[in-house]
Structures are given as C-alpha cells and as structure tokens.
Amino acid sequence: MEVPILKQGRFLIATIQAALSDADLLQLRRALIDKVIHFRSNGVIIDVTALDVMDSFATRTLRDITNMIRLRGAGTVIVGIQPEVAFAMVQLGLTMEGVATALDLEEGLEHLQLRATGKI
Amino acid sequence: MPVLQETVVAIRSDGDIVAARQQGRSLAAAIGFTATDATLIATAISELARNIVMYARQGEVIIRSVEISNGKSIVIVARDNGPGIRSVEDALRDGYSTSGGLGLGLPGVKRLMDEFAIESELGQGTMVTIKKWLR
C-alpha cells in the first residue's frame, strides 16, 4: 500500500490511507526523503488519521523520518493520531519525544507556516 | 474454558503482523470490547507478532475469545520454534533489547494487557500468552 505524497508549495503532505506493513513504512520513509531532497521542501506533514495501531516499529520509523528531514533543515508534523492510538502508545511506552504533532491537517500546516517564517 | 471463537494467524512476514492485529481487533470488538481496549489488544498483538518475525522468522498467533463464569476475555498466544530467549528476566526489563530495537516490546505488552505469561527455552522457542478481561 503506497502512501500518496502531495506537493503544496514548499510543503509535502503524506496521507496514510490504510494500515501499513513494516515494508510500507520503510517505503514511505524512502519516498519522503527523496521528495524532500528533490523539491527542496521545507516542511512535511504526515497524516496518520487512518492508522488504527501505532506500534513500536511505526513510531520509530516516523521518528526516524522526522530526524532525517530535520537534518535537511525541514520540519515535520505528525497529524491525526487517534485518541485510542495515543492511549495505547503511552501505555506501551512510546512517547515520540522531539516530534511535532498537531490535531489535524489544518493545524499542521499552521505549524509549518509559523516554522517557515521563523516564529517557532 | 469455553472458547467462543478462535483464529490462528500464521506469521511468516511483516504483512502477517497487520493481518494478526486486524483479526485481534475484530474478535475483541465481536465480544464487546470498546474501541480503546480493542486498540490496546491490537497493539499488543502487533508487538508479539513482530517479535516472531524479527527473532524466530516464523510462528503463529492464536486469538481466542473465552467465556467463564466470571466473565469474557480475549486470550492471545504467540508462539514460535525460534532461538528462544536467553534471559526472560532481562527481556521483561524496560529498555532491554538484543536486536537494536527500542527494547520496549515485552514490558510494554505487559502494561497493555491484564495478564501476561512467557515460556521460553533456548533453541526450542518462545510462547507468550496474554489476556484481557472484558469489563
């Protein structure tokens, strides 16, 4: 299941649409890094609204993506973590420290815009 | 122990991890678990199934809904004939990992569920049994 990545100005928006296997997650990581380099993007949003489980592998991969993109000088925001998914992640001991999160796409874009203009 | 429903998912690749947790979620929902509890159960299954793929390469996850006089529960057995765990005690400690992973697997799974048991023998394999009661 490939994750579509949309380019919007200097931002990229990846919208996960169904459960992802480990291989799918690694594919997303590769595709996002490639596109950030290719388009010289300065912000990325990963919409995980459709994910009903975020286990240790998914969490680690999303954190790796964020760190890699940060080294390119760009920001990443994870949006749409479902309340019960957040609950399970915390119980499991996964906190996503250092990764920006926002409620939804709109707030995620707002975060990236503030970041791009140096306000945060 | 009257079993209401049972599903066995063979675990051979990372795609089977997704299948196992989806089966777990639907079995949990079928006996009345809330969305939150079903997510905790699905997440626990995901971690156990991944351990099988990562350490033993193949095995199986058995998901059972059970009813006894004091209530319904879901029981998950994840077993493999892999290398086994050298020190179960170490594996149950937060932050411990032999695979360069996060090392949160088993203690995290234990926190997600009500009951947790593990049997492992070097060179023989590992069996983890977890349970959550319907409240």
**pTM of the predicted structure, to 2 decimals:** 0.93
Position B104 scores a pLDDT of 45
Chain A, nearest residue to B21 by Cα: A53
Considering only CB atoms, which chain A residues are within 8 Å of B48? none
Q: Are B130 and B48 in contact (CB under 8 A)?
A: yes
C-alpha A71: how far from chain center: 15
Read off the pLDDT of residues A21-68 as tens digits, 9 standing for 90 and up. 999 999 999 999 999 999 999 999 999 999 999 999 999 999 999 999
pLDDT in 10s for each residue of chain B, 135 residues: 799 999 999 999 999 999 999 999 999 999 999 999 999 999 999 999 999 999 999 999 999 999 999 899 999 999 999 999 888 888 888 765 544 454 448 989 999 999 999 999 999 999 999 999 998
8 Å CB contact of A91 and B108: yes
Please tell me which of the candidates A19, A60, A89 has its beta carbon nearest to residue B18: A19
Q: What is the CATH number of the domain that holds A46?
A: 3.30.750.24
Substitution target from A59, A64, A92 for chain B, most B beta carbons within 10 A: A92
Which residue range(s) make up the domain with A15? 5-116
Contact A21 B15 (CB under 8 A): yes
Smallest Cβ–Cβ distance between B22 and the set A19, A23, A87 belongs to A19
Chain A positions in Cβ-Cβ contact with residue B25 (cut-off 8 Å): 52
What distance in Å separates the CA atoms of residue A1 and residue A13, rounded to the nearest whole number? Answer: 16
CB atoms B50 and A23 under 8 Å: no
Q: Is B103 on the interface with A (CB under 8 A)?
A: no
The token pair at A120 is 């945060």
Q: Are the beta carbons of A88 and B102 separated by less than 8 Å?
A: no
Q: Which residue among B18, B50, B111 sits closest to A91, beta carbon to beta carbon? A: B111
Residues from chain A that touch B112, judged by Cβ atoms under 8 A, are 88, 91-92
Per the structure, the count of domains in chain A is: 1
Q: What is the pLDDT, as a whole number, of residue A104?
A: 97
Homologous superfamily of B3-133: Histidine kinase-like ATPase, C-terminal domain (3.30.565.10)
Cα gap B107→A92, rounded to integer Å: 8
Complex prediction ipTM: 0.92
CB A105 within 8 A of CB A72: no
B104 reaches A (C-beta below 8 A): yes
3-state secondary structure B79-134: EECCCCCCCHHHHCCCCCCCCCCCCCHHHHHHHHCCEEEEEEECCCEEEEEEEEEC
- Domain spans in chain B, listed from the N-terminal domain onward: 3-133
C-alpha B45/C-alpha B41 separation (Å) is: 6
Give the residue from chain A lying closest to B53, CA to CA. Answer: A22
CA B58 to mean position of chain CA atoms: 14
- The per-residue pLDDT for A119 is 80
